[in-house]
Amino acid sequence: LRVNASEASGRPIPKTLFGIFFEEINHAGAGGLWAELVSNRGFEAGGPIIPSNIDPWSIIGDEDSSLTVSTDRSSCFELNKVALRMEVLCDTKGTNICPAGGVGIYNPGFWGMNIEKGKKYKVVFYVRSSGAIDVSVSLTGSNGLETLATCEILASASQVSNWTKMEVLLEANATNHNSRLQLTTTRKGVIWFDQVSAMPVDTYKGHGFRSELAEMLADLKPKFIRFPGGYFVLGDWLRNAFRWKATIGPWEERPGHFGDVWNYWTDDGLGYFEFLQLTEDLGALPVWVYNNGISRNDQVSTSHVGPFVQEALDSIEFARGDSNSTWGSIRAAMGHPEPFDLRYVALGNENCGKKNNYRGNYLKFYNAIKKAYPDVKIITNCNGLCQTLDHPADFYDYHVYTSAKDMFSKADQFNCTSRDGPKAFVSEYAVNQDEAGNGNLLAALAEAAFLIGIEQNSDVVSMASFAPLFLNDNDRWWHSDAIVFNSSQQYGTPSYWVQHFFRESSSATVLHSTLQKNAYTSLIASAIMWENSDDNKSYLRIKIVNFGNDIVNLKISVDGLEPSSIQPSGSTKTILTSGNQKDENSFDEPNKVKPTQSPLENADKDMDVVLLPY
């Protein structure tokens, strides 16, 4: 491998080359990155009709003798009218004595709440009653026997004759990863509950994100976040699509929606505002994906798509408008008077060529957005890889899900692309076929090779993000993901660790390098020069993938370096491999396939290195 290290021989890599793609899939957000512990907090999961679906809420007590639970439409929140009505038949005195611990309801969260000793949890709920109330708010183990934290709420009839907000802070006295929240009483009467939330007090930057998961994202140093999804944005049907206006404002007033593509309800605590906040917290730029009037099964005709276009314009005003603008003022009221740095929007997802209104709708959006916000960059999902686009666009979206072998071969995918047209945004890529398992070493190496190809072709590829990002172990819908978690644990798959090798690439210089492969066609390499802002030094980084079964003795020669700039003592090598190409990480072995770093003692202008198989 011969590398020309003089930066003059190289080419700047776009500042935004490597980012992440968040989709609400596999309970990535609800029950994942969004730290809310209660699932179906407004009893709305059945939609606006009653009786509603209160799942996973369950009843504590005997429904024949102690209480009856139903839903009605008496909530004080206009967009989510369903409330839970609990008629308590037992009491502390008389003939029908309540069981010890009382009767009521509990919520196990998303497959169990993670409650940790010494940590604080804020529980908020709305209540109304025809009489005085005496409600215990408790965090307990999964069978209700072990009490981790509890608090009693007493209120007179006049205090709760109208809907009243209650707020308590609970501190856990023990740890249980499979806990639940209980609302119980031993007092006869009728109580209505609505909008019940339990949030850990400690969240990432205090903004509601589960810290350990957000930190794993921060470690990737993403330059952009594409959100809130691909098919999630579309919906199987438009009536179930993600509509941003229903996801902003006070959480209690958000109606939530059923994501029919990935088949689960979300309360939309993680809404448009929170996504924008996440990008800012991670130092990334938002890439906001619109539904342009097309779902997977139905579509709005171009002549009727106007309201969707207006919704898009309003969303840009929400992100960027000043505090006096209609939508900017709502953002300001939510606690963010400064605008968010929204510069990229994508119109639709994988619709081009599949839905005949795509182009017409796209043009309506494109013209309206460019007129109002000429600097906003627009991404089409028509493929510009091999053919010239027949409509204006700043970027075209490119997705690839394939086998490891095919992904490896796609490393040179962009070599022949026209250098003059719109740039590619490789917004979804992953190895998920054939021998990929649930994301193994082989899959990750093929992705590394593909990214090396992207780095080398970063004059025509401006952005790239792996997909999907998260998998909740309890909802294994889409198997090859970057980060796997349950209520209390998380680990990176080999694909996640591959992303680490590219963390410094955005804004770096890709150097000219040539690899003489001889018989080793399974090798691919690239070299970058990057500035480390911690010590203000330039570093040369060479990345090599050995996708084959052979040990390779590789000679590396670096031209154009001043001898004084070679510092073996500060040089390192980082290796991602494992005993078997099919090795995966798991909760039991989270670090089975993880990069290991060690000194590169023979760092020099000429080096002999040994590349292990895979």
Contacts with ligand AHR by CB under 6 A lie at: 23, 25, 229-231, 349-350, 399, 428, 467-468, 478
Sign of the CA dihedral running 480, 485, 486, 490: positive
Q: Least distance to ligand AHR from the beta carbon of 18, Å?
A: 17
Residue number with CB closer to ligand AHR (32 or 468)? 468
Indicate the residue among 468 and 494 with the shorter CB distance to ligand AHR: 468
Q: Report in angstroms how near the CB of residue 261 gets to ligand AHR at its nearest.
A: 7
| Nearer of residues 26 and 114 to ligand AHR, judged by Cβ | 26
Over the range 113-151, which residues count as b (16 or more CB within 10 Å of their CB) and which as e? bbbbeeeebebbbbbbbeeebbbbbbbbbeeeeebbbee
Token pair for 562: 């001043």
The token pair that represents 358 in the structure block:
């795509």
**Shortest distance (Å) from residue 387 CB to ligand AHR:** 21
Shortest CB 573 distance to ligand AHR, Å: 33
Helix 272-281, helix 306-320: angle, nearest 10: 40
Smaller CB distance to ligand AHR: residue 296 or 320? Answer: 296
124 or 471: CB nearest ligand AHR? 471
Q: Which residue minimizes CB distance to ligand AHR?
A: 230
Neighbouring residues of 132: CB distance < 8 A, sequence distance ≥ 6: 154, 155, 156, 157, 160, 187, 189
Please answer whether residues 214 and 97 qualify as being in contact, where contact means their C-beta atoms are separated by less than 8 angstroms. no
Q: Which is nearer to ligand AHR, 264 or 614 (CB)?
A: 264
Instruction: Give least dist CB 480 to ligand AHR, A.
Output: 9
Nearest CA-CA partner of 56 in 115, 108, 124: 108
Closest approach of ligand AHR to the CB of residue 291, in Å:
12
Q: Which of 424, 434, 433, 363 is nearest to 394 (CA)?
A: 424
Residue partners of 274: CB distance under 8 A and separation at least 6: 34, 207, 208, 209
- Contact (CB, 8 A) for 119 and 200: yes
The span from the CA of 468 to the CA of 345, in Å, is: 19
Classify 94 as helix, strand or coil: coil
- Tell me the closest approach of the beta carbon of residue 83 to ligand AHR, in angstroms: 34
Q: Which is nearer to ligand AHR, 149 or 444 (CB)?
A: 444
DSSP 162-193: S-EEEEEEEE-SS-EEEEEEEEEE-S-EEEEE
Under 8 Å CB-to-CB from 324, ≥6 apart: which residues?
none
Query: Cβ 496 to ligand AHR, closest distance in Å?
Result: 15
Q: Which is nearer to ligand AHR, 251 or 466 (CB)?
A: 466
Q: What is the CA radius of gyration of the chain?
A: 27
Shortest distance, position 230 Cβ to ligand AHR, whole Å: 2
| 214 vs 467 by CB, closer to ligand AHR | 467
Ranges of beta strands (E only) in 256-361 are 257-259, 264-266, 285-290, 344-347
Q: At closest approach, how far in Å is the CB of 24 from ligand AHR?
A: 9
Q: Taking a C-beta distance cutoff of 8 angstroms, is the pair 480, 438 a contact?
A: yes
CB of 478 to ligand AHR, least distance (A): 6
Question: Please, which residue, 480 or 581, has the CB nearer to ligand AHR?
Answer: 480
Contact indicator for 285, 462 with CB cutoff of 8 Å: no
Q: Which residues contact 576 (CB under 8 A, 6 or more apart)?
A: 441, 444, 445, 448, 494, 497, 498, 501, 593, 594, 595
Nearer to ligand AHR, 137 or 270 (CB): 270
